[in-house]
Chain A
Amino acid sequence: MNNSSDSTAHSDFTARSDFTARSDFTARSDSTPRSDSTAKVYVPRDSAARSVGADEVADALQLAAARGDFDIEVVRNGSRGMLWLEPLIEVVTPHGRVGYGPVAPSEVEGLLAAGMLDGADHPLRLGVVDELPWLARQTRVTFARVGVTDPLSTQDYLEHGGLAGLRAALELAPEDVVTEVTESGLRGRGGAGFPAGIKWKTVLGCTDELKFVCCNADEGDSGTFADRMVMEGDPFMLIEGMTIAAHAVGASEGYLYIRSEYPDAVATMRAAIGIAREHGWLGKGILGSALDFDLQVRVGAGAYICGEETSMLESLEGKRGMVRAKPPIPAIEGLFGKPTVVNNVLTLATVPIVLADGAKAYQELGVERSRGTQVFQLGGNIAHGGIVETAFGVTLRELVEDYGGGTFSGRPVRTVQVGGPLGAYLPTSMFDLPMDYEAFAAAGAMVGHGGLVVFDDSVDMAAQARFAMEFCAEESCGKCTPCRVGSVRGVEVIDKIVAGEHRDENLALLEDLCDLMTDGSLCAMGGLTPMPVRSALAHFPDDFLGGRRSLEIQPVQATGVRTEGTA
């Protein structure tokens, strides 16, 4: 891609005034009638899609093409985030991209014979994917390109608005970029919700020669996979966001800390960084400007605590991932003691859009002090799990019942854990709570990173409370006593309560222990572990009476159909 076509793409896409127009651009670039006879078929390479057979589906398509029966070009895109439909394949037709799913590898031949390449009818046909209500109802801002494009195609990236944010940022002085991000209302998407612009301003204000931008991609919480999907599905967006951050604060080096449990994300990001360097999107004099910035991937080594920002910095320095006491905050003394921007994947991935479309467009989405969109991740026992990106203010009920379609098992929903293993378990009576940082905090819960894990009525909440403590004991970095020892004591006390040993005294003791962990822990690991425990106790006290253990969760079969349980 040469510079002249870059700038053409740029001028096309900066004219957009609203975010919802984005899908129009997808439709336009793909609905052009094919000039040749080659059919373009998209098969996701997202690791969730691969976990249910996307590679085999792609192989089957390529085999049919190799035999000469069909003229097919297979493109491996990211996932649209309708994960229950994976592998979801899309065929480019004059009417748009027609989807079929979930497609088993053995069904490929039948689909081809039925005329799939022309968008023909078939029991697996879903219709034009962009028009599916589940997707059309969302406000895809950060996820606008994910699942639409080939993640490593620079041409796709530019045709779908890529680099518009960076170009806009490079036209501005660093302090004006910071102002733009501040005014957009963008808050850290990693869980704490700290305003991104304020953090950047602190780093900008430091006079050190060497500064860093660190992206925290240690997405260790169960029920979260949006960071992974961004890295696998639209890696250039993250690189662009980090580069904008570098320009805004005066940083010259960037680190992307990815957990080792995400090998596909590591491979995609490394490949994307290499391609970005070749195109002058990273390195010296980025896009012809005076900005020098380069970036490397670092892989974690299986430690949940390294998702905590100061532990991550220690790990990046080659040490044990022990939490640092704050202050000093990383913005002033971060990586190797230098001023450092530490942001989550979604935060940095959203920055290009904020710069491309302006703070105002982003700020107009959302409610109260929760501005913009949140990428909700529906997981656990849910019929329609996946990515729902929508403005803040959506209710739990809309997410779990409307988007999610209730449980996968077909049994009643009993609880949803929101915000990861350190988030609260909420009962269905609280389902009308709007997704908003402050409203959740007032209800003793947290939106966190927007991960939702649904449980049906077979769940034993005393066991879940015990697991929260057990997980903390297993994953605590060990630096502070409330977390390291408190979690071990927590497991013991819950066991005693369930066993009926001095129940009232032990409940009081558990309460006291939770207070101590909340107030005395160095970081959120110990500080928030009481949240799932307390919420389980508050909303499901009967489970702690010791009678529920016998309820076995029924296993599911590989086909996704529930087996006849024995419980």
Chain B
Amino acid sequence: MTTSGSDVTVENVVRRVAAGHRGQRGALLPVLHAVQAELGHVPQEAIPVLADEFNLSRADVHGVVTFYHDFRREPAGRTTVRICRAEACQALGAGSLVGYAREAGLSLGETTADGAVTVEQVFCLGNCALGPTVEVNGRLHGRVGPAQLGAILNGTVSS
């Protein structure tokens, strides 16, 4: 299963991933997760290949990809910062974190022009007793105040 150089086309990746999940019932979501893990997003070119692999219409696959918040159509920044905005974190000032990010020129859902950081909102990371919670590249931080968020964002922008 070595793919090197020009072998790493979207089609090759999708076909290989799909083959690895053959025999699994209803495998479209696991395959989409795996494709995104390899390519960083689910590119448009993956849609017809997936449709072919799963014997679905392109519209069906498109519908699934766009239904779920996790599947990206474009690559994210090198660092993804997710601020929890659900009630438990709201009760401890999650709103002020969003405000802080915005003042730093980072709007929710957008990636900075230099590709350094994407700031997103998320509704609940299950850390409701230690909010406000922020996730940075998959790692949770509890009790995050604006100062710590600032440090996190500075670290990513300068990296």
Q: Is the CB of B147 within 8 A of A86?
A: no
**Known contacts A302-B68, A302-B69, A261 near B125 by CB under 8 Å:** yes
Residues of B35-76 whose CB lies within 8 A of A: 54, 60, 63-64, 67-71
**Known contacts A554-B93, A558-B144, A380 near B25 by CB under 8 Å:** no
Q: Which 4 A-B pairs have the closest CB atoms?
A: A385-B129, A379-B128, A318-B28, A222-B86
**In the assembly, what is the distance between CA of A305 and CA of B70, in Å?**
14
Q: Which of B7-15, B111-119, B131-139 contacts A (4 or more CB under 8 A)?
A: B131-139
Which residues of the partner chain B approach A219 to less than 8 Å between Cβ atoms?
Answer: 126
Q: Is the CB of B88 within 8 A of A222?
A: yes
**Known contacts A301-B33, A316-B26, A222 near B64 by CB under 8 Å:** no
Q: Which of A219, A296, A381, A409 has the most CB of B within 10 A?
A: A381
What are 29 A-B contacts defined by CB distance under 8 Å? A48-B140, A51-B141, A51-B143, A52-B143, A86-B130, A222-B124, A223-B88, A225-B127, A300-B70, A301-B68, A303-B68, A304-B123, A318-B28, A319-B64, A321-B68, A381-B92, A385-B128, A385-B129, A386-B129, A453-B91, A455-B91, A459-B91, A475-B123, A552-B96, A553-B95, A554-B96, A556-B143, A558-B148, A559-B143
Q: Which of A86, A302, A304, A455 has the most CB of B within 10 A?
A: A302
A133 at the interface (CB under 8 A from B): no
Name 12 extra pairs, CB < 8 A, besides A421-B87, A475-B123: A83-B130, A224-B124, A318-B26, A318-B54, A377-B128, A379-B88, A379-B128, A380-B131, A409-B92, A553-B93, A553-B96, A557-B145
Which residues of the partner chain B approach A86 to less than 8 Å between Cβ atoms?
Answer: 130
Q: Is the CB of B25 within 8 A of A556?
A: no
B20 at the interface (CB under 8 A from A): no
Q: Mark A104-136, 1 if CB is under 8 A from B, else 0.
A: 000000000000000000000000000000000
Chain B interface helix/strand/loop/mixed: loop
Q: Is the CB of B90 within 8 A of A225?
A: no
Interface residues of B, Cβ cutoff 8 Å to A = 24-30, 32-33, 54, 60, 63-64, 67-71, 86-93, 95-97, 122-133, 138, 140-148
Which residues of the partner chain A approach B147 to less than 8 Å between Cβ atoms?
Answer: 557-558
Q: Is the CB of A336 within 8 A of B26?
A: yes
| Contact among A51, A221, A464 for B142, CB-based, below 8 A | A51
| Contact among A84, A380, A552 for B87, CB-based, below 8 A | A380
Q: Is the CB of B97 within 8 A of A555?
A: yes
**In the assembly, what is the distance between CA of A223 and CA of B138, in Å?**
20
Q: State how many angstroms separate the Cβ of A318 from the closest Cβ of chain B.
A: 3
Q: State how many angstroms separate the Cβ of A359 from the closest Cβ of chain B.
A: 31
A263 at the interface (CB under 8 A from B): yes
**In the assembly, what is the distance between CA of A219 and CA of B145, in Å?**
25
Q: Is the CB of A51 within 8 A of B140?
A: yes
Q: State how many angstroms separate the Cβ of B57 from the closest Cβ of chain A.
A: 12
**In the assembly, what is the distance between CA of A17 and CA of B38, in Å?**
52
Q: Which of A221, A318, A421 has the most CB of B within 10 A?
A: A318
| Contact among A315, A378, A421, A552 for B86, CB-based, below 8 A | A421
Which residues of the partner chain A approach B87 to less than 8 Å between Cβ atoms?
Answer: 222-223, 380, 417, 421, 453, 464, 467
* Closest chain B residue to A384, Cβ basis: B129
* Closest chain A residue to B31, Cβ basis: A318
Which residues of the partner chain B approach A319 to less than 8 Å between Cβ atoms?
Answer: 26, 28, 60, 64
Q: Is the CB of A563 within 8 A of B131?
A: no
Which residues of the partner chain B approach A475 to less than 8 Å between Cβ atoms?
Answer: 123
| Contact among A48, A84, A409 for B127, CB-based, below 8 A | A48
A451 at the interface (CB under 8 A from B): yes
Q: Is the CB of B126 within 8 A of A224?
A: yes
* Closest chain B residue to A260, Cβ basis: B70
Q: Mark A443-454, 1 if CB is under 8 A from B, else 0.
A: 000000001011
**In the assembly, what is the distance between CA of A464 and CA of B87, in Å?**
8
* Closest chain B residue to A314, Cβ basis: B26
Q: Mark A6-45, 1 if CB is under 8 A from B, else 0.
A: 0000000000000000000000000000000000000000
A47 at the interface (CB under 8 A from B): yes
**In the assembly, what is the distance between CA of A263 and CA of B122, in Å?**
14
Q: Is the CB of A51 within 8 A of B133?
A: yes
* Closest chain A residue to B68, Cβ basis: A301
**In the assembly, what is the distance between CA of A386 and CA of B142, in Å?**
14
Q: Is the CB of B69 within 8 A of A318?
A: no
Q: Is the CB of B145 within 8 A of A225?
A: no
